[in-house]
Every structure is written in structure tokens, then in C-alpha cells.
């Protein structure tokens, strides 16, 4: 049954990748960001009743089950004799568990739109790591994006030393923005490590086994943490939210892994900014929250980074200097 659904999808995706080799990594990255931000809506809902570790258990377990089912139906390899590959897979899983756990904790402390904005700052770290570890070029547009992102985060956090105590107090009505922002930035650093590791291991294995190993290790670590934090009784509506969280996260992760395998890690990471728009839409129209003006300005600053980079890429292609992305 699974193969009847997946085979046409994978065939269509493969056709698109062959037809648009320079564009499709960005499309996968953009869709991944939008879907991942949408999944965070259910993290926000679940965090009202339980801790981030317990949420991570059910999310990661679903990812492992989905991946196992699909890989089994296609006869894919689950393990590799190479110690190097296995170490990279474990390192990616550990970094991913830390990054997702921190992100979920940060989301529980801030409005979804603000958390989504800060959560998407990780391309700044990815660009730097991709240069240091993968040897990719660090472009001027990436440096400009990093500086603009810094300004955007300041607008969102609104520290008293810059904006005054009255503005900062108003910004903190929904929780400690400063602490939540620090947690999300740390999670972003871990996410950038994940992306570089996905790129590094991508040519040596398939994205399915990368996702499967992450799901297993994340489930085990989150279970151990939850034993100390305590479990909350699962209610019927929690099951529905867990399903959507796990399903959307799985699709987002598959798309993101594929984008980083076939594309330039530093460039593809910039597509994460597409998730910002989804965050504001969900916060305003679904959760019914109002958006702080300065936070909105910060979001627009960070969102502008994507357009700066897209203009840069278009300029390179027009002048024939853009290189074909590695496969």
C-alpha cells in the first residue's frame, strides 16, 4: 500500500530534480520551512499541557515508524559497515535531538510568530559552518544577511538597554522573550550543525536512513529526559495534535534532507526564511494573537535576507557566474 502512494511521488520528484537541477533544492527548502513552521503550531498547543521532551517522544517515534515503513517497502539499507558513516549518522541524530528539543522549549515561551522568526535565523550559522567544514564559499550576501538577522533579533527581543524598560516589559507579557530567544538561538546553532552533517553524510548514504536513525535516537533520549520530568496523561485531542505534528515534521525533514543532499548547504539554508510568513499567518489567524509592532519589524528585517539572497542568485545567473549545484 505504501509503495502505491510513494512510488509516484518519488518518481515525480526525481523528474523535477533532473529537469530543474539548479532550482529544485530551493523549492524543497522553501516547502520544508513552511511545513515545519506549520507543525510548530501543534507544538505550541501541546506545550500548554506537557513538557518539550514528552512532545519530542511522540514526534520522533512517528518519524522513525514512517521512515521504517517506507524503507522496508523499498528494500532500502538500514545500516552500513563503515564506522565513519555510522558516526556521522549518530552525530547528526544527537545534534538534531538537541536542536529540536531546544526549539520546542523556546516555542513554549514565546508567541509562535516571534519564535518562528528567531528559529529561522539558523542559516547564519549554517553559512559559517558550511564554509569552515565543507569548504563552500561564504558570499557577501550571506554576511549582509547575518547582520540584518542580528538587527531583526534585537527588534524581537527588545532588550531594556536599547528600548527602555517600559517597551521591554510590554514585549514580555507573553513570557520571557529574552530567555526564549537565547534558547531558540542555541537550537539554531544545533540545527546548523545538523544541516552540515546531513550534507556531509548525504553522498554516502540515503536520506531515509539519516531520518530513521534520528527518529530512534531522539525517541530514546527524550524518553530518558521525560522520566525525570514526569509524564502527562494523554487525552484524545492530544493524539490528533501528535499525529499532525509527526506527519508534518516527517515531510518537512525528508524535503530538507533532500535539499541539502543535492544543493549548496549555505544557499539552501536561506530558504528557511519562507517559514516566517507562515508563522505570522498562524499566530494571527489561527491562534488569534496580536503581533507587536517592533517584533513585526524584526521579522521583516530577517525576511528581507531571503530576498537579498534571491536577488544575488538571480544576478549571478544573469551574468553566467552561477555554478551548477553539486549532486
pLDDT tens track for 151-196: 888 887 777 666 665 555 555 554 567 788 889 889 888 988 887 8
Rounded to the nearest angstrom, the gap between the alpha carbon of residue 298 and the centroid of all alpha carbons in its chain is 19
Q: Confirm if 113 and 184 have CB atoms less than 8 A apart.
A: no
The per-residue pLDDT for 322 is: 43
Residues ≥6 apart with Cβ < 8 Å to 220: none
Each of the 327 residues of the chain gets a pLDDT tens digit; together they read 555 556 666 677 777 777 877 788 888 888 898 898 899 999 989 998 999 999 999 999 999 999 888 888 777 766 667 788 888 889 989 999 999 999 999 888 888 878 877 877 777 787 788 788 877 777 777 778 788 888 888 887 777 666 665 555 555 554 567 788 889 889 888 988 887 887 777 667 777 788 888 999 999 999 999 998 888 889 999 999 999 999 999 999 888 878 877 777 667 777 777 777 788 788 878 877 777 787 788 878 877 776 776 666 666 666 654 443 333
Q: Confirm if 298 and 56 have CB atoms less than 8 A apart.
A: no
Dihedral through CA 163, CA 169, CA 171, CA 176, nearest 10? 120
- DSSP letter assigned to residue 76: -
The CA distance from 233 to 186, in Å, is 30
- DSSP letter assigned to residue 137: -
The per-residue pLDDT for 239 is: 94
Q: Confirm if 106 and 183 have CB atoms less than 8 A apart.
A: yes
Q: Confirm if 283 and 113 have CB atoms less than 8 A apart.
A: yes
Cell numbers of 303, please? 525576511
Beta strands in the chain (DSSP E): none
The CA distance from 294 to 44, in Å, is 22
| pTM of the model as a whole | 0.77
Q: Confirm if 105 and 183 have CB atoms less than 8 A apart.
A: yes
The CA distance from 77 to 209, in Å, is 7
Cell numbers of 278, please? 507562515
Q: Confirm if 249 and 37 have CB atoms less than 8 A apart.
A: no
Helix (H) or strand (E) holding 1: none
The CA distance from 129 to 134, in Å, is 7
Q: Confirm if 102 and 181 have CB atoms less than 8 A apart.
A: no
Closest to 252 in 3D by CA, of 36, 58, 43: 36
Q: Confirm if 246 and 58 have CB atoms less than 8 A apart.
A: yes
The per-residue pLDDT for 325 is: 34
Task: For 225-278, give the DSSP string.
Answer: HHHHH------HHHHHHHHHHHHHHHHHHHHHHHHHHHS-HHHHHGGGGHHHHH
- DSSP letter assigned to residue 284: I
Amino acid at each position: 500500500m505504501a509503495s502505491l502512494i510513494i512510488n509516484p511521488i518519488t518518481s515525480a520528484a526525481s523528474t523535477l530534480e533532473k529537469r530543474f537541477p539548479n532550482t529544485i533544492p530551493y523549492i524543497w527548502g522553501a516547502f520544508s520551512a513552511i511545513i515545519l513552521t506549520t507543525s510548530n503550531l501543534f507544538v505550541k498547543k501541546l506545550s500548554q499541557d506537557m513538557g518539550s521532551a514528552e512532545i519530542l517522544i511522540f514526534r520522533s517515534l512517528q518519524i522513525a515508524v514512517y521512515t521504517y515503513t517506507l524503507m522496508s517497502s523499498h528494500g532500502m539499507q538500514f545500516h552500513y559497515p563503515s564506522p565513519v558513516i555510522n558516526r556521522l549518522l549518530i552525530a547528526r541524530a544527537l545534534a538534531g535531538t538537541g536542536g529540536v528539543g531546544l526549539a520546542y522549549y523556546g516555542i513554549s515561551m514565546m508567541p509562535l510568530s516571534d519564535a518562528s522568526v528567531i528559529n529561522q535565523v539558523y542559516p547564519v550559522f549554517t553559512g559559517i559552518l558550511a564554509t569552515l567544514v565543507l569548504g563552500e564559499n561564504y558570499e557577501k550576501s550571506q554576511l549582509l544577511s547575518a547582520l540584518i538577522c542580528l538587527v531583526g533579533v534585537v527588534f524581537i527581543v527588545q532588550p531594556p538597554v536599547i528600548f527602555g524598560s517600559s517597551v521591554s516589559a510590554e514585549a514580555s507579557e507573553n513570557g520571557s522573550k529574552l530567555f526564549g530567544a537565547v534558547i531558540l538561538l542555541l537550537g539554531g546553532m544545533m540545527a546548523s550543525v545538523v544541516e552540515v552533517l546531513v550534507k556531509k553524510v548525504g553522498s554516502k548514504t540515503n536520506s531515509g536512513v539519516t531520518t530513521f536513525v534520528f527518529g530512534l535516537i531522539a525517541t530514546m533520549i527524550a524518553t530518558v529526559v521525560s522520566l525525570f520530568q514526569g509524564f502527562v496523561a494523554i487525552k484524545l485531542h492530544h493524539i490528533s495534535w501528535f499525529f499532525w505534528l509527526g506527519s508534518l515534521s516527517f515531510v518537512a525533514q525528508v524535503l530538507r534532507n533532500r535539499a541539502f543532499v543535492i544543493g549548496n548547504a549555505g544557499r539552501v539554508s536561506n530558504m528557511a526564511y519562507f517559514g516566517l510568513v507562515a508563522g505570522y499567518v498562524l499566530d494571527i489567524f489561527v491562534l488569534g494573537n496580536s503581533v507587536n509592532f517592533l517584533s513585526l519589524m524584526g521579522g521583516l528585517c530577517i525576511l528581507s535576507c531571503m530576498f537579498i539572497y534571491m536577488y544575488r542568485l538571480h544576478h549571478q545567473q544573469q551574468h553566467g557566474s552561477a555554478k551548477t549545484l553539486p549532486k
